[in-house]
Amino acid sequence: MAVVVAVVIAGGFTAGCGDNGGQQSSGGSKASNGAVTLTWSMWASGTEDRDAWQKVADEVTKKYPNIKITLETSPFNDYFTKLGTRLAGGSAPCIVSMQSLRTGGYVNGMLPLDELIKKNSLDTGDFDSSIMAGLASGGKQYALPYDVGSLIVTYNKDLFKAAGVPAPKVGWSMADFEATAKKLTTGGKYGFAAYPIDLPMFSMILSRTGAEPVDASGKLTLTSEPMATGFQWYADLVAKAGVAPKVPGVDNNFPDTQFLNGNVAMKVDGPWAVLSLKEQAKFDVGLATIPAGPNGTKTYSAGSGFGISQSCPYPDEAFKAISVMTSADVLGQLATIGRAYPARKSVQNKWYENAFEGAKEVLDAANASATPFRTTSSWDQVSKLLAQYGVPVFNGQGTAADVLKQVQQQAPA
């Protein structure tokens, strides 16, 4: 995602009351006439992205005129650091945006939704079951999902044409990928953007060696031989094969920046990137499946949703809000503009209306081969350690086995 300056719409981090005699807190406020203003914190990668979320906020007030939403947005890479601080300090927004990878690490500051789901008779059957599970922890539901998606390859069609390289097809192999990346590495351009960031890197490793970072019991498993082999191969796309640019330092935006600047021809992403790519890319974009390893194409799926902070003084109103924000109508709108592959199965086809050419074949194949991405409750720390210690390996310093052992030892249990 591109870096943007944090934007606070209509009121800043603390929602004001604006009516004498009302009540207010960091998460929301209530006027003397009973109208409630709720603060909602969300990540955004550009103007169109932010505008899309503002429209979602407006839909809440359209259905419930007594509920108004103050939307805060910040870059994805800053979002969870700020959220953790605010949850710990009891100053979190009422409505919390949450990613499935990170749910377990934030539940101490979030409100379980199970009673509110039951109280409001909300039918959750239309939601994709894998992402409902991803936004749950310890048998409790902490967020309602808005999107779910499988990791895929996005590519620069213009660079492929300029290099005379055929577009990748569904089911292409790792050997195809490596040969393609090599042919595209020419004239100061590179075939691929490789960087030690969880979903993109582990999706490629999963397909190549079958290794997973977390086992079925929830334990970190970074030191297996298949994981070390896969990590080293991925790092060597930079360090030895030279088909990906050197990594200047810890910067999770690096692959996105390189791709949008036209410096690399391919990177791994998810369907949530379509809107920002349409807004920011100055070239034609294509989609492809993760290349197949010895056991066929494999990839991970993940997603995000909306929950309620424990410090929110108006949980009933907040639940009404997130029910609207994850309704079929709203998710259908987000799908149509390409912002989210809907978590509701009934409106998933709407995503293809504004997607890139050939998207349905690619995403259908990706979804069929996808496994929900498992994480630990301390995944934020694991992710940071992987970047901190992994970047030198991508630049040819140290080995994958040593780095993975170091992360395994230092990661909180």
pLDDT at 20: 36
Q: Which of 236, 179, 219, 207 is nearest to 300 (CA)?
A: 207
At a CB cut-off of 8 Å and minimum separation 6, what does 199 contact? 101, 151, 268, 270, 300, 302, 373
Instruction: Decide if 178 contacts 241 (C-beta within 8 A).
Output: yes
Q: Poorest-confidence range of 18-27, 94-103, 264-273? A: 18-27
Q: Which residue has the tokens 């990906």?
A: 244
pLDDT per position as a tens digit, 153-207: 999 999 999 999 999 999 999 999 999 999 999 999 999 999 999 999 999 999 9
- The C-alpha atoms of residue 220 and residue 88 are separated, in whole angstroms, by 25
What pTM, to 2 d.p., does this model score? 0.86
Count of CA atoms in the C-beta half-sphere (13 A) of 285: 27
Tens of pLDDT, residue by residue over 359-403, are 999 999 999 999 999 999 899 899 999 999 999 999 999 999 999
Instruction: Please identify which residue in the block is written with the tokens 């959750």.
Output: 124
Q: List strand residue ranges (DSSP E) for 226-383, in order.
A: 266-269, 285-288, 299-308, 370-372
What's the pLDDT band for 23 if we cut at 50, 70, 90? low
Nearest C-alpha neighbor of 300 from the set 152, 197, 193, 137: 152
pLDDT value of residue 377: 87
Query: In DSSP terms, which residues pair with 74 in a beta bridge?
Result: 43
Is 5 or 60 the better-scoring residue by pLDDT? 60
The three-state secondary structure class of 362 is helix
Strands (E), 75-157: 95-99, 136-137, 140-141, 144-150, 152-156
**DSSP category for residue 344:** B
What's the pLDDT at 161? 97
Tell me, what's the pLDDT at 169? 93
> How far apart (Å, rounded) are the C-alpha atoms in residues 43 and 98?
10
Instruction: State what percent of residues in the chain have pLDDT above 90.
Output: 81
- pLDDT reading at 6 higher than 80: no
b/e map 378-396, b = 16+ CB within 10 Å: bbbebbebbbbbbbbbbee
Per-residue model confidence (pLDDT) at position 25: 61
- Per-residue pLDDT reduced to its tens digit, 219-250: 999 999 999 999 999 999 999 999 999 999 99
Instruction: Give pLDDT, residue 18.
Output: 35
Q: Work out the mean pLDDT of the chain and round it to a whole number.
A: 91
- CA distances from residue 63 to 68, 241, 329 in whole angstroms, order as listed: 10, 55, 12
What's the CA gap between 340 and 334, in Å, rounded? 6
The mean pLDDT value for 43-48 works out to: 86
What average pLDDT does the segment 118-144 reach? 95
Asked if 293 and 207 count as a contact pair (C-beta separation under 8 A), the reply is: yes
- Residue 346 binned pLDDT confidence (cut-offs 50, 70, 90): very high
Is pLDDT above 50 for 5? no
Residue 43 near residue 51, CB atoms below 8 Å = no
What is the pairing mode between strands 136-137 and 95-99?
unpaired
Residues in Cβ contact with 217 at an 8 Å cutoff, skipping those fewer than 6 apart: none
Strands 67-74, 36-43: pairing kind? parallel
Main-chain dihedrals φ then ψ at residue 241, nearest 5 degrees? -70, -30
Given pLDDT bands bounded at 50, 70 and 90, which one contains residue 274? confident
1-10, 63-72, 81-90, 216-225: segment of lowest average pLDDT = 1-10
Question: Taking 50 as the threshold, does the pLDDT of residue 17 lie above it?
Answer: no
What are φ and ψ of residue 251, in 5° steps? -155, 100
| 95-99 and 36-43 strand pairing | parallel
Please state, as a whole number, how many other Cβ atoms lie within 10 Å of the Cβ of residue 266: 28
Q: How far apart are the first and last CA of the chain?
A: 30
At 22, the pLDDT band (50, 70, 90 cuts) reads low
Strand order in the sheet with 266-269: 266-269, 152-156, 285-288
- Name the token pair of 244: 């990906």
The pLDDT score that the predictor gives to residue 45 is 82
Proportion of the chain above pLDDT 70, given as a percent? 93
Residue 154 and residue 409: Cα distance in Å, rounded? 34
